Structure 1
Amino acid sequence: MKLFQAASALLLSLPLFATTITDIKFVGMVHISESIAKSMLKVEVGDELDVENVDKSIKAFFDQGYFTDIWADEENGVLTFHFVEKPIISKIKMSGWKESDKEVQDSLLQIKKGALYDDKRLQAAKKRIIEALSQEGKIDSVVEIETEYLDNGSVAVEFKVNEGETIIIEAMQYEGVGGLEPDVFEASIANKAHQWMGWFWGRNDGKMQLAELGYDPLRMRDVYMQNGYLDAKVDEPFVRVDFDSYTAQMSYQVSEGNVYRTSGIVLSQEKQVIDNELLREVVQLELQEPFNIKTFREDADRIKTKIADLGYAFVEVVPDLRKDKENKTVEVVFRIMPGEKVYIRNVVIAGNGRTLDRIIRRELYLGPGERYNLTDLRDSKNALGRTGYFESSTIEEKRIDEKTMDLIVKVKEAPTGNVQLGGGYGSYGGILLSVGVNDRNIFGSGINVGIKLEHSERTQNYSFNISNPRLNDSDFSGNFSIYKSIYEYNDYTVHTDGVTLGAGHRFTRFISGYLGYNYAAVSYEDIDPEYFILNPQLVRYFESYNKSSVTVSANFDNTDDYYLPRSGWAISQSFEKSGIGGDANFFKSRSTLNKYNGLEPYLGFDAIFRFKGRFYAAADTGFLPQAEGFYMGGLGSVRGYESYSLPYIIDEEGNAVRVSATQTASSNIEVSFPLVPKAKMRFSVFYDLGWIKTDRPELGNVPEMFRMGYGAGLEWFSPVGPLQLVFANPVNADSNDNISHFEFTIGQRF
């Protein structure tokens, strides 16, 4: 207001007789064009000079937010408006906290280069920074704003952050707790007391999370309601903070009440669209058992899914509880409003710049004209994820009217065409480098083509493969591959040339079968004469041979993604019979089981639990060559040991001689954590266990081998494909074992 008063005083000093405006000029104005400025004026050329209207014009300009000062003067009928514009911010940064996290800085500052300097916006950004620090449990934080006016007239702004102290919760007290042990609900709350070695994973560091204080009582009450305590009350926590040591003690006042048992389940349909008995089959609440609010919510969702699968896309399930405090029972009521049956009008594909529409549509279980089905919709999304063609996919439901909807399928394509690089180092094989060109979705056709070249000091592998998971968009698949390999061991070299072809069929959404044929020619060269002198029992296993075999397999896969699944099972069983022509005659069985679970609902962040198991067995039905047995070590079995280095026997001179096994099993337990989500980088820890056994009487008493390994890995969706770096250590290695501490691969699923 001082600005306008000053302008008014200046104009009042003009002569009292009427002055006619002959021209209007603007000085120092850049951000507003002259034509726009004239449209904002309350005076025009030809008007008599009016102080009040000039004052209104100045205020209108000032309200635009571009100026720090505006004034007007008049001379010989020329009215001139003078402007001092706010400087432009040419540099802005935040130091002292989150310096390398541009995403966080942008969300807190909300000021871009090129913006006008505005003190109110700077103060608002400062407030957001302090609030963010408070949410991390930091108090007494200080943020200073430093500005520097540069020679070009712009200004550089720096937010200097001095993080405050973190409050450590030393003790937690729960008054009124008796029916449940504190451990039951402490797992669900964010603020917990500090534990010894709190810095270690799985322990509580005791850092107070101020933003979560208001939610912890709700979490505690929810746990009580999962155990039948429907009248439970949890007051806001009382916090006593020692600002000298930045420690705190917290206490909760809890009123548990009584345990309610489920006395009845009522299903009330607004209009009968399904037999109530069919709905009761999906309800998991049990009569006369303590009520569980979590199961109650899940039952409502299961009922909704059951009815939505009949086409009622807009069904509403309203759950209700009728408590009987006297008898300590609760009657559960599900009010169901199904609406009308809905049909799909159209399916729109978006985001696929390379993948053909038909490749996407063939994975969808809903199409134009079909009746809506919620399970089909969810399975369609998972099917798109399992292809490995897309980084992400969503299916939006666009309501047209009460009886029709459109499905909008939005995909973000992944780099399916990539150069695969792999490698590792072992004391036996030295440096291993693997280079391959592979495209799981060549030209967007859904066809997988790959060429692989692998070379180390002792191995060479060359292969070409092509496969189509959906021949002519049908449920049939086909594959063809040709390969050549050379493995050089200490005492001999193995050459293998082979070809494989096969066909498969998808029987259900998750179950598929495969029938394949393989022919291979295997020869041994450069055998050390002393090798057989020391190991005469191995002579028959080093004869060159041909293998002609048939493989039959079945697979179950309901995971939600190809490269990074967060839910589902992947199970396979295959049988191979050799002896249909050729020299080799054996029978093999291979079983694998993978389980994936997303842990975000339990931990609050995108962690993933993985279990991978395998069991392989072979039977000699005539001739089981050395090269057709099983081995253990490296990626896919037990990490920390060189790939395929186990088992072995000890010869007469004490040397470890590698032999193949007839049985092997391994299990891998992994947990993957988000590391840099924006860069699609994750961190994993693992523990591997493996067992391998050789049933070959001619080899003598070959001991069973049990090995373990542990380590960590880096998982990154790099521009050239999924990259995995593995750092491993053996647990119970023998002195004769070949150890490998590092391996990496690109292009394989995690």
Structure 2
Amino acid sequence: MKLLLNIKKENDDLGKQVNNLVNTLPVKTYLKYCIAILFFAGSFSIQAQDLPYIEGKKYTLGDISVSGNTTFSEQTIITYSGLRKGKEMTIPGEDIANAIKKLWGSKLFNDIEVYITKIEGDVAYLQIRLSDLPQLNELKINGIKKGKKESIIKEAKLNKGVKVTENLITTTKNFLEKKYKKEGFLNSKVLINTVEVKDSVQTARVNMVLNIDKGEKVKIKNIVFDGNDVLSDKKLRKAMKNTKKINRLRILKRSKFIDSAYQADLGHVIEKYKENGYRDARIISDSVIINNDETISLRIKVNEGELYKFGDITFIGNTVYSNEFLSRLLRIRKGDTYNGVELQKRIADNTKPDAFDITNQYQNNGYLFSTINPVEVSADNNIIDIEVRISEGKPAYFNNVSVIGNDKTNDHVIYREIRTRPGQLYSKANVVRTVRELGQLGFFDAQEISPNFINPNPVEGTIDMEYSVKETGSSQIELQGGYGGGGFIGTLGLSFNNFSIKDIFKKEAYKPIPMGDGQKLALRLQASRFFQTYSFSFSEPWLGGKRPVQFSTSLSHTKQFLYNPLTRNADKSRSFNITGITFGLAKRLTVPDDYFTLSQAISFQRYDLNNYNTGLFTFGDGYSNNLSYTVGLSRNNTSVDPIYPTGGSNFSITGKFSLPYSLFNGVDYDALQAEREANSIISADPNNSLLARTNATTRITEIDQERYKWLEFYKVKFSGEWYTQIAKDLVLRPKVEFGFLGAYNNARGVIPFERFFVGGDGLGNYSLDGREAIQLRGYPNQSLSSTDGGTIYNKFSLELRYPITLKASAKIYALGFLEGGNSFDVFRDYNPFNLKRSAGIGLRIFMPAFGLLGIDFGHGFDPLPGGTVKNGWETHFIIGQQF
């Protein structure tokens, strides 16, 4: 038996060379180059012995046999090699080279040897001897957390059964080291060991052990620039958004070296130069210097080039808008310092879908197919002349508009919010607004709403629009707990935010409840030792189905029990009952724009006191009625996700008014007030007889019963908040609030209801007497107001938010806050700068089934009223609320 060709793999680098040769060399030269390279490398042995055949003579291939350690069948290997019995071939020649190439390229075998077993006349008999590459049996990874191991297996493709080659081992090692270096672990090391598995199974198998030592992330001690005269090192370092040197005072940006971030920041340095007129600036070299204290320093050499200015800017191809109009829109004048970055933003700002730029001007007016390109036509004497070349194209009209992905929400609920209609002229602003409106509904994952352009036809000027949505849970269970009013307060509520009342009597609609019409239905039970509250509310956002007019109604009943200081419990025989009903309408306006909403409501509350004597009222038995009208104007253009807005603002101003009964009921309240003050003196003077004092007290009660029989007041509130995305996903939200409760007639005085209670987390807001709990973290609940509540308050807050995840299943974001606020009993004491200040951090989790959950740790920097020591830390647990 004569060895014709023998290829054995012994060195990984040479193995790679052979693989490259196998995959790239022409068949005719494959064998020649393969033999030459491997012979001189000495890592493969190729032997040609004296053979009893005539070189160049053609032989007919006889039987082909297969031997060696392999689990593949003989027929499979022969078929895959391309050799077949009866084939006429030259020995040696291209046919055998091709067979070797195919078998080697399969990456299934470790050794491939071809033998001539015998020659009979013109018939040659061959044997292919080979062995399988070993398969991966078990993989053990050391040095990383358990949760990271699955991702390593997936990324490195180290699944059980994979063929283990030297190339695989080397590739895996290089991949992991490169991966960790990109993450800032410059000193990472990866060692891979394999051990052959010996058992009764014929398949060659190995166990692999990955020892990963990531080391510590390397910090940047200093960043130094060479060649910069125009821009200082400080300005250039500031332009590097994610590569920062060590600074103990910096919190948001770390100083650890990440190669990918560093490469991106080199581009930001060049952009900084271009923004300042140095369009030819470039980075000549950059180097990483390893310091003795295991930190690194970065040295970046730049060539600033020369300063350029804008010359003439001309527009070519524009017929829809005049040169003068486009020049005003571009806002760049001849002689301005050249800024290529800003020029591109004025043409098309890709960071803002609703930016004030030329592209949006065209696209908001139908020119979907327009293209606008600025071209530098001259740069003589560092003066750059620009041609803005415009291809307007035909105006585009919507052909078909469709929605996909709504499994629960009925089509008409979505289509009534869509601003793009078939036959309507295309407007990018309307597309962006539609995405916002769908996100604001709360029925879909705002992060997953996608407008898709289908079948754009520039010739006919048509486009199909498809909005893709993803349903989220729109019903919520409210479980709320907290302390307020002297005891634990528990709340159980059911809120159905996509209800369908028309299907309430259809048995088949209960899956588990009738849904899909966008209505809201809420049932709520709140209780503690001292009170019980029951409420029901319903709202229809499109009353009549043709206009965005929201109708809402609510019913409520609460029973409050008097606190007994002896037993420290509730006295169930002494109660304060409140029953209320409200009807409201809210209409979306079109002027000044359609972000405005005008809301109106009429409400009635009945207050019944049953032996309920407190400092709040001078009468313990009796009743009061509160009939009021509320009107509000609001503007909300926050985008897009209502849980985590990243832009826009939300303003509202409301006024709540009762009838001015003192103008027409014929009661002389000045006389009543004088009589009340006189009786107060009598009742407080111990020299008077018991009978006189008792009669005076009784008369005071009668007077107050008359004063509060029908409540007379007005109440004004303002709230404003802004959302600004100051970095990717990092959102700043300032907010200001103000409230004032007044009286038409000073003789009647300010009512004891409808007051403001400032401080805490708001969970103590259990009463339906119109009081409002104003959250101010860092202080106990309602601790910054007097016992009866304030008649005026203001609050200022600043929040910095960063999302951890915004997935539909759970939206989680962290926040830091600064707050200040206070309440005052009378207007003459009001001082907007007399604030109770606080700061802290918090976390919010929104789950569709439970609403918003959160926890805040706030530090109060000022003492409570009457105290002298700052309040310090408070923990606030938030369920179902949002600041």
1:280 Cα offset (Å): 3.2
Q: 2:653 aligns with which of 569, 573, 577?
A: 573
Distance (whole Å) between structure 2 residues aligned to residue 178 and residue 674 of structure 1:
40
**Which residue of structure 2 lines up, in the alignment, with residue 652 of structure 1?**
none
1:264 Cα offset (Å): 4.3
Q: 2:218 aligns with which of 151, 154, 167?
A: 167
Say if 1:749 and 1:125 are closer, same or farther in 2 by CA, change over 3 A: farther
Q: 2:588 aligns with which of 506, 528, 552?
A: 506
Aligned pairs for 1:466-481 within 5 A = 466-471=538-543, 472=545, 474-481=547-554
1:356 Cα offset (Å): 2.3
CA contact under 8 A between 1:642 and 1:739: conserved in structure 2?
A: no
**Which residue of structure 2 lines up, in the alignment, with residue 555 of structure 1?**
634
Structure 1 residue matching 2:366: 3-state secondary structure: coil
**Which residue of structure 1 lines up, in the alignment, with residue 756 of structure 2?**
630
Structure 1 residue matching 2:329: 3-state secondary structure: coil
Structure 1 residue matching 2:630: 3-state secondary structure: strand
**2:749 is aligned with 1:617:** no
CA contact under 8 A between 2:274 and 2:281: conserved in structure 1?
A: yes
**Which residue of structure 2 lines up, in the alignment, with residue 128 of structure 1?**
175
Distance (whole Å) between structure 1 residues aligned to residue 478 and residue 129 of structure 2:
65
1:42 Cα offset (Å): 3.2
Distance (whole Å) between structure 1 residues aligned to residue 877 and residue 522 of structure 2:
19
1:157 Cα offset (Å): 4.7
Distance (whole Å) between structure 2 residues aligned to residue 523 and residue 91 of structure 1:
77
Distance (whole Å) between structure 2 residues aligned to residue 246 and residue 139 of structure 1:
11
CA contact under 8 A between 2:243 and 2:261: conserved in structure 1?
A: no
**Which residue of structure 2 lines up, in the alignment, with residue 496 of structure 1?**
578
Distance (whole Å) between structure 2 residues aligned to residue 81 and residue 486 of structure 1:
94
**Which residue of structure 1 lines up, in the alignment, with residue 516 of structure 2?**
444
CA contact under 8 A between 1:66 and 1:86: conserved in structure 2?
A: yes
The unaligned stretches of length 5 or more in structure 2 are 1-5, 10-43, 54-58, 119-123, 349-356, 500-514, 565-573, 662-708, 762-773
The TM-score normalised by the length of structure 1 is 0.82
Give per-residue Cα distances to partners, 1:124-169, cap 9 Å, x unaligned: 3332221122123322211123556777887665533211344333
Structure 1 residue matching 2:330: 3-state secondary structure: coil
Which protein shows a greater Rg? 2
Say if 1:56 and 1:180 are closer, same or farther in 2 by CA, change over 3 A: closer
Cα RMSD for the two superposed structures: 4.3
1:90 Cα offset (Å): 6.6
CA contact under 8 A between 1:229 and 1:259: conserved in structure 2?
A: yes
2:456 aligned partner, one-letter code: I
Q: Which is further off, 685-694 or 223-232?
A: 223-232
1:719 Cα offset (Å): 5.8
Give per-residue Cα distances to partners, 1:192-215, cap 9 Å, x unaligned: 5644525x515x653333333333
Give per-residue Cα distances to partners, 1:517-560, cap 9 Å, x unaligned: 211222445646xx54xxxx853799642211111112211111
1:584 Cα offset (Å): 1.4
1:341 aligned partner, one-letter code: P
Structure 2 residue matching 1:545: 3-state secondary structure: strand
Structure 2 residue matching 1:563: 3-state secondary structure: coil
Say if 1:458 and 1:229 are closer, same or farther in 2 by CA, change over 3 A: farther
Q: 1:422 aligns with which of 455, 480, 501?
A: 480
**2:574 is aligned with 1:520:** no
1:479 Cα offset (Å): 1.3
Distance (whole Å) between structure 2 residues aligned to residue 584 and residue 324 of structure 1:
77
1:494 Cα offset (Å): 4.8
CA contact under 8 A between 1:674 and 1:681: conserved in structure 2?
A: yes
1:221 aligned partner, one-letter code: I
Structure 2 residue matching 1:139: 3-state secondary structure: coil
**Which residue of structure 2 lines up, in the alignment, with residue 599 of structure 1?**
726
Aligned pairs for 1:306-455 within 5 A = 306-321=361-376, 326=381, 329-391=383-445, 392-402=448-458, 403-425=461-483, 429-442=486-499, 443-455=515-527
Say if 1:58 and 1:690 are closer, same or farther in 2 by CA, change over 3 A: same
1:298 Cα offset (Å): 2.0
Give per-residue Cα distances to partners, 1:436-485, cap 9 Å, x unaligned: 22232232321222222333454543322221223325322111222233
CA contact under 8 A between 2:580 and 2:603: conserved in structure 1?
A: yes
CA contact under 8 A between 1:172 and 1:192: conserved in structure 2?
A: no
1:611 aligned partner, one-letter code: P
Say if 1:86 and 1:449 are closer, same or farther in 2 by CA, change over 3 A: farther
1:347 aligned partner, one-letter code: V
The TM-score normalised by the length of structure 2 is 0.71
Say if 1:340 and 1:162 are closer, same or farther in 2 by CA, change over 3 A: same
CA contact under 8 A between 1:320 and 1:333: conserved in structure 2?
A: yes
CA contact under 8 A between 1:22 and 1:46: conserved in structure 2?
A: no
Aligned pairs for 1:618-697 within 5 A = 618-621=741-744, 624-635=750-761, 637-648=775-786, 658-675=787-804, 680-695=811-826
Distance (whole Å) between structure 1 residues aligned to residue 832 and residue 343 of structure 2:
54
Q: Which is further off, 351-360 or 99-108?
A: 99-108
1:59 Cα offset (Å): 5.7
Distance (whole Å) between structure 1 residues aligned to residue 189 and residue 844 of structure 2:
37
Aligned pairs for 1:263-282 within 5 A = 263-268=311-316, 270-282=317-329
CA contact under 8 A between 1:637 and 1:667: conserved in structure 2?
A: no
CA contact under 8 A between 1:541 and 1:625: conserved in structure 2?
A: no
1:449 aligned partner, one-letter code: L
Distance (whole Å) between structure 1 residues aligned to residue 778 and residue 561 of structure 2:
22
Distance (whole Å) between structure 2 residues aligned to residue 257 and residue 42 of structure 1:
63
Structure 2 residue matching 1:370: 3-state secondary structure: coil
Q: 1:237 aligns with which of 286, 309, 316?
A: 286
Distance (whole Å) between structure 1 residues aligned to residue 516 and residue 612 of structure 2:
48
Distance (whole Å) between structure 2 residues aligned to residue 264 and residue 566 of structure 1:
38
Give per-residue Cα distances to partners, 1:247-306, cap 9 Å, x unaligned: 3333344444555444544222x2412233333342233554434444322210210110
Q: Identity across aligned pairs (percent)?
A: 22
